[in-house]
């Protein structure tokens, strides 16, 4: 089995475990531990601090992670891997210094812009946001080195499994009355700190601490320029994925953040195949670009697009067709997640179908265009959210995201086709979309086999709900498998999956 398949399977395994842990937290604990009203608003505020930590970490590492992925193949071939350490550590620390100065000068103003519902002391919130940003930034930089070293499964474990285990422990402690909201906010910050520390130790981080100032000024200028465009490129991408949460908090209310986060979490399972493939695909794409292996790049583009569309589409159908049953297990006010979930799911399918177009552009000589596309995407997303959120709430935010990502992926696909003749529309891909669509229609037509009495308690409803979900899942999965086989898509998939799985196709 090749390194892409092996590392992707390890990453997918971490993602699945992480999603299971997250499901327990987001769909079992959160709706009932943080009741409607002030507790749910406070939890929405906690989600905002986490979102800001992620957004700031992307901008303030100044591209250290992408620099590592792009340049390590060259440094490795020249025997000077240690020269990379300056970019890994100095760049992020400079970014955090800038954030600290900003918070000291304009922190109170920033908190007021963030939300009208200031439910906690502004100074404490700024401390939490700074700590979250600091440790997310350092972890992101270290993970870039891990990805470039083909050890992405390590980062996947810490980012998907470890962090969720620690944070679910914090929610349990809060539910038991062992900590209050101030303690819960700090507990989450400590979880990010420990995430970085443990990965640092496992990566033998002491070997990465020998910082050497770059002596090659031209190379330093090249990497700094790449890092600048990368941070704006990927930072804009991260901001687009999080801007809806920030704008919902500012325009609608903190409790709405919780509902939107529920829909967003449920739909993130669609991205498991792409997230499992993305880190190792980054390293492989970088290596292939270094070797100018366009045959390998085209094969990777085609295989990623087909596999992630199949698996992600199958998961999306299962979620949408079983959503009524899932809502039976949640408090009634969570029914508002239905249409946000649908439009977020559609937006994710755009991403999956267009494969690794952004990665290829990012590692090509045209990497600056990713930045231009992302800035345009950011502008469109902000305008769409400003227009739609006041009228349609969290559904408007999801529609804005879907519309923006459709235009974004269309622009990148056209650019990639014009420059390199690579585009996502293929006969197997279109046949796969047809198979997914027909399977979705079949799934929506399946009735519940066991009626669910909503007057019963939560645990009494669980068994009939799970039975109905299980039966519907089997029928949908069988239908999709049959159509994939009938349309001949299985023959294309057989060529790209590991040999041990080919007998199932």
Select from 425, 455, 483 the last residue of a domain.
425
Residues 343, 304 contacting (CB under 8 angstroms): no
Per-residue confidence (pLDDT) for residue 343, from 0 to 100: 94
The reported pLDDT for the residue numbered 283 is 63
Q: Which domain holds residue 156?
A: 3-425
Highest mean pLDDT among 32-46, 75-89, 317-331, 480-494: 317-331
Q: Both tokens of residue 396? A: 């408007």
Q: According to the per-residue pLDDT averaged within each range, which of 182-196, 410-424, 476-490 is highest?
A: 182-196
Same domain, 60 and 28: yes
Reply yes or no on whether the pLDDT at 4 is more than 60.
no
With residue 389 as reference, give the H or E element that holds it.
helix 368-420
Whether residues 127 and 187 share a domain: the answer is: yes
Which tokens is 56 given?
């700031």
pLDDT at 504: 44
Say yes or no: 226 and 323 in one domain.
yes
Over residues 70-97, the mean pLDDT reads: 72
Q: Mean of the per-residue pLDDT values for the chain?
A: 80
Q: Confidence band (pLDDT; 50, 70, 90) for 233?
A: low
d(CA 417, CA 365): 15
Token pair for residue 91? Answer: 């760049």
Q: Is 330 left (phi over 0), alpha (psi -120 to 50) or beta?
A: beta
Q: In terms of domains, do 69 and 215 share one?
A: yes
H helical segments located in 203-337: 217-251, 254-268, 272-291, 294-321, 323-327
Q: Report the predicted TM-score, pTM, of the whole model to 2 decimal places.
A: 0.78
Lowest-confidence range among 89-98, 265-274, 285-294, 490-499?
490-499
Highest mean pLDDT among 120-124, 150-154, 292-296, 396-400: 396-400
Kindly state whether residues 98 and 189 are assigned to the same domain.
yes
Are 108 and 11 part of one and the same domain?
yes
The answer on pLDDT for 417 being more than 80 is yes
Q: CA 260, CA 74: separation in Å to the nearest integer?
A: 43
Cα–Cα distance for residue pair 331/39, rounded to 1 Å: 15
pLDDT for res 261: 86
DSSP 488: T
Per the structure, the count of domains in the chain is 2
In this structure, the answer to whether residues 250 and 126 fall within a common structural domain is yes
Do 339 and 463 fall into the same domain?
A: no
Cα angle vertex 37, ends 34, 41, to 5°? Answer: 70
**Sequence-ordered list of residues with C-beta below 8 angstroms from that of 320, at least 6 positions apart, any chain:** 341, 342, 345, 440, 443, 444
pLDDT for position 1: 45
Q: Given this model, what pLDDT does residue 342 score?
A: 95
Asked if 418 and 470 sit in the same domain, the reply is no
Neighbouring C-beta atoms of residue 113, cutoff 10 Å = 11
Residues 328-353 have pLDDT tens digits of: 888 888 889 999 999 999 988 888 88
pLDDT given for residue 157 in this prediction:
83
364 and 226 co-located in one domain:
yes
* pLDDT one-digit tens code per residue, 401-410: 889 888 888 8
How confident is residue 498, by pLDDT bands cut at 50, 70 and 90? very low
Is residue 430 domain-shared with residue 489, that is, in the same domain? yes
Q: What is the pLDDT of residue 186?
A: 93
Long-range pairs for 481-488 at CB < 8 Å and ≥24 separation? 483/434, 483/435, 483/438, 483/439, 484/310, 484/432, 484/435, 486/435, 487/431, 487/432, 487/434, 487/435, 488/428, 488/431
Domain final position from 379, 404, 425 = 425
Triad 30, 238, 229: Cα angle to 5°: 165
For 116-175, how does the pLDDT look when each residue is reduced to its tens digit (9 = 90+)? 666 678 889 899 999 999 999 888 888 877 776 666 677 778 888 899 999 899 999 999
Domain boundary among 425, 445, 460: 425
Q: What is the mean pLDDT of residues 176-193?
A: 92
**378 and 504 belong to one structural domain:** no
Percent of the chain surpassing pLDDT 90: 19
């Amino acid at each position: 089995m090749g390194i892409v398949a092996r590392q992707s399977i390890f990453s997918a395994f971490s993602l699945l475990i992480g999603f299971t842990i997250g499901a327990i937290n987001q769909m079992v604990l959160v709706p009932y531990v943080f009741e409607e009203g002030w507790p749910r608003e406070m939890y929405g505020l906690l989600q905002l601090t986490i979102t800001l930590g992620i957004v700031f970490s992307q901008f303030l590492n100044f591209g250290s992670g992408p620099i590592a992925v792009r340049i390590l193949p060259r440094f490795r071939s020249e025997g000077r891997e240690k020269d990379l350490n300056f970019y890994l550590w100095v760049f992020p620390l400079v970014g955090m210094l800038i954030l600290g100065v900003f918070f000291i000068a304009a922190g109170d103003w920033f908190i007021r812009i963030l939300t009208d519902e200031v439910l906690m002391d502004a100074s404490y919130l700024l401390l939490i946001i700074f700590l979250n940003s600091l440790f997310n930034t350092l972890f992101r930089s270290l993970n870039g080195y891990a990805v470039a070293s083909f050890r992405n499964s390590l980062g996947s474990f810490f980012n998907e499994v470890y962090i969720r285990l620690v944070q679910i422990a914090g929610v349990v402690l809060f539910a038991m009355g062992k900590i209050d909201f101030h303690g819960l906010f700090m507990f989450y910050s400590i979880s990010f700190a420990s995430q970085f520390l443990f990965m640092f130790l496992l990566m033998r981080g002491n070997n990465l601490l020998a910082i050497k100032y770059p002596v090659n000024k031209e190379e330093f200028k090249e990497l700094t320029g790449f890092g600048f465009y990368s941070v704006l490129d990927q930072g804009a991408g991260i901001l687009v994925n999080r801007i809806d949460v920030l704008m919902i908090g500012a325009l609608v209310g903190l409790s709405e953040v919780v509902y939107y986060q529920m829909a967003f979490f449920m739909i993130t399972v669609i991205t498991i195949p792409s997230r499992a493939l993305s880190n190792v695909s980054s390293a492989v794409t970088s290596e292939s670009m270094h070797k100018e292996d366009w045959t390998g790049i085209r094969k990777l583009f085609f295989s990623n697009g087909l596999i992630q569309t199949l698996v992600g589409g199958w998961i999306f159908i299962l979620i949408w067709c079983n959503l009524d049953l899932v809502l039976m297990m949640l408090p009634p006010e969570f029914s508002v997640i239905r249409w946000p979930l649908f439009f977020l799911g559609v937006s994710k399918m755009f991403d999956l179908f267009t494969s690794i177009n952004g990665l290829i552009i990012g590692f090509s000589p045209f990497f600056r265009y990713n930045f231009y596309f992302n800035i345009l995407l950011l502008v469109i997303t902000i305008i769409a959210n400003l227009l739609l959120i006041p009228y349609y709430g969290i559904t408007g935010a999801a529609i804005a995201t879907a519309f923006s990502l459709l235009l974004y992926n269309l622009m990148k696909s056209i650019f990639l086709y014009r420059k390199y003749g690579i585009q996502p529309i293929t006969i197997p891909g279109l046949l796969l979309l047809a198979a997914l669509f027909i399977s979705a229609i079949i799934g929506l037509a399946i009735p519940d086999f066991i009626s669910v009495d909503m007057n019963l308690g939560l645990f009494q409803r669980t068994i009939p709900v799970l039975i109905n979900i299980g039966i519907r899942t089997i029928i949908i999965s069988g239908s999709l498998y049959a159509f994939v086989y009938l349309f001949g898509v299985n023959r294309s998939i057989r060529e790209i999956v590991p040999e041990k799985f080919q007998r199932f196709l």
